[in-house]
Structure 1
Amino acid sequence: MQTLSEVKNLAYAMMFTLHKVKSVNIEEFKPFFTNLPVDPYIKGNYRFRRLSRFKVLGDELIKLPHGYLFQSKKYNPLLGDIKREFAELDDAITKLEDFKKLVLAFIDYCQLDEQAVEIGVHQIRTTCSPDNYGNPAPEGIHKDGTDFVGIFSVGRNNIQGGETELYKSKKESPVFHKILNPGDLLLVNDDEFFHYTTPIQPLVSGEGTRDVFVLTCPSLLKD
């Protein structure tokens, strides 16, 4: 089993990589994004969210007990030093074989010992309308305060914008900028890069949605 220092050495070795996860059927996930609770910590009622943490035990993906999300203001100037609680991911989605494949793909791409790590999975929908643009990253250009971040795109419906950017410094131009299309998984070394996603607005009249899973290791969840 890898020690914590060995895990972190692997984290430092990986800068950022983009993968197309062809083994996962994203259609299995889409129905579960229609009933997400509103994020009560963001003004405007345009972001919806669930959050759970997991470990791998043998061939099984195990959901760990409920916890709260905590980040310091160093990493999240908007919502830092606040205990945030979100509803757990629906048990039905966590039991999907494709959900397990996604978590294992994240662990595998990051070269982690699957028996030794705890993964946080954020299920997030950002909405927009002609009168209310959606902001996937209201905290601005930021780090999460973890080792690895994975952003997996599930769906983009009637939107423009939502480009994901990576920065070595907040004062410099981005070193990476791309719209993540469904099936794309962007892996980021959180120690090395700041990240940000630009606001979204509808392509045509009506509501637009951007659906993603954000995976983190460690999970950032506390008991």
Structure 2
Amino acid sequence: MQKVGALTELEYAFLFTLRKVNSIKLEGFKPFFNDLPVDPYIKGNYRLRRLSRFIASKDSVIKLPKGYFFQAAEYNPLVGNIKREYAELDDALIELDIFKNMVLAFSDSCKLHPEAEIGVHQIRITCFEDNSGNPAPEGIHRDGTNFIGIFSVDRENVQGGETHLYVNKKENPVFSKILNPGELLLVNDHEFFHFTTPIKPKVEAKGTRDVFVLTSPSLLSS
């Protein structure tokens, strides 16, 4: 078996996990991606975003008060050391069973403490024939949290958008895959850097990539 750094590929599989969440019917999420506000902190108006924070306790998901999103510049050289404020997730979205199931799948898979905060980022990346969309404009990076979950909701008229995991920024990725709708990638942020390649349309029309990104801790503060 090929070695990756000091560990084998099999041993690294315990530090990240890809799973298909069959209990979630994705059609219920899709209308809520059509009215996302533009992310004002990224140039180009191609990224749209909402953000809220929660606690997953037993079988319930409890929304917490709105907070500011903050990452140190060492993790996000593009917009680090800035208190970012985003519109919150739609209340009607939060009330859906499929939303609760997604957050609980993340919490259960990462074996989070019942008091652990979870940040849920709802993100759409758009692209056009003359303007690609960049899901990770900060480059290969860590988020500065403990656990990350990337849940793919939809890909419409796009190519690219392959997610990579790296042990070291200067080495080849140990994981490379386009996340298909319904797939949840769970990552230990202390062990891996991550990146997603730009997207562009398959045909000459608008393309979109819709995901939820979940983190714990949430990196939000009042």
TM-score by length of 1: 0.92
SS in 2 for 1:151: strand
Answer yes or no: is the 8 Å Cα contact 1:14–1:110 preserved in 2.
no
Please give the secondary structure, in 1, of the residue aligned with 2:18: strand
Q: Could you give the per-residue CA deviations for residues 16-58 of structure 1, whole angstroms, max 9, x where no partner exists?
A: 0000000111111000000000000000000000000001345
Which residue does the alignment assign to 1:40? 40
Residues 1:15 and 2:15 are matched in the alignment: yes
* Unmatched 5+ stretches in structure 2: 1-11
What are the equivalent positions in structure 2 for 1:41-56 lying under 5 Å apart? 41-56=41-56
- Counterpart in 1 of 2:135? 136
8 A Cα contact 1:128 1:134, kept in partner: yes
* CA spacing shift, 1:145–1:16, aligned 2, 3 Å: same
Residue 71 of structure 1 deviates from its aligned partner by: 0.3
Contact 2:57 / 2:115 at 8 angstroms: preserved in 1? no
- Preserved CA contact (<8 Å) 1:14 1:189: no
| CA distance 1:36–1:75, change in 2 (3 Å) | same
Per the alignment, residue 5 of structure 1 pairs with none
SS in 1 for 2:35: coil
Q: After the TM superposition, list the runs of 4 or more consecutive aligned residues in structure 1 that deviate by more than 2 angstroms.
A: 56-60
> 1:75-116 CA distances to partner (integer Å, 9 max, x unpaired)?
001010000000000000000001000000001111223x22
What is the rounded CA distance, in whole Å, between the counterparts of 2:221 and 2:13 in structure 1?
Answer: 27
Counterpart-to-counterpart distance in 1, 2:139 and 2:174: 16
Residue segments in structure 1 that go unaligned for 5+ positions in a row: 1-11
Is residue 67 from structure 1 mapped to residue 71 from structure 2 by the alignment?
Answer: no
Letter in 1 for 2:189: D
Amino acid at match of 1:86: Y
**Corresponding residue for residue 204 of structure 2:** 205
Percent identical pairs in the alignment equals: 69
Correspondence for 2:213: 214
Distance in 2 between residues matched to 1:131 and 1:221, nearest whole Å:
35
Q: How far apart in 2 are the matches of 1:107 and 1:13?
A: 18
* TM-score normalised by length of structure 2: 0.93
What is the match of residue 78 of structure 2?
Answer: 78
Figure out how many residues of one structure are paired with residues of the other and give that number: 211
> Which residue does 2:102 correspond to in 1?
102
SS at match of 1:93: helix
**What whole-Å deviation, never above 9, does each CA across 1:126-159 have from its counterpart, x for those lacking one?**
0000111000000000000000000000000000
- 2:162 maps to what in 1? 163
The CA distance in 1 between the partners of 2:28 and 2:154, in whole Å, is 12
What is the CA RMSD across the aligned residues, in angstroms? 1.3
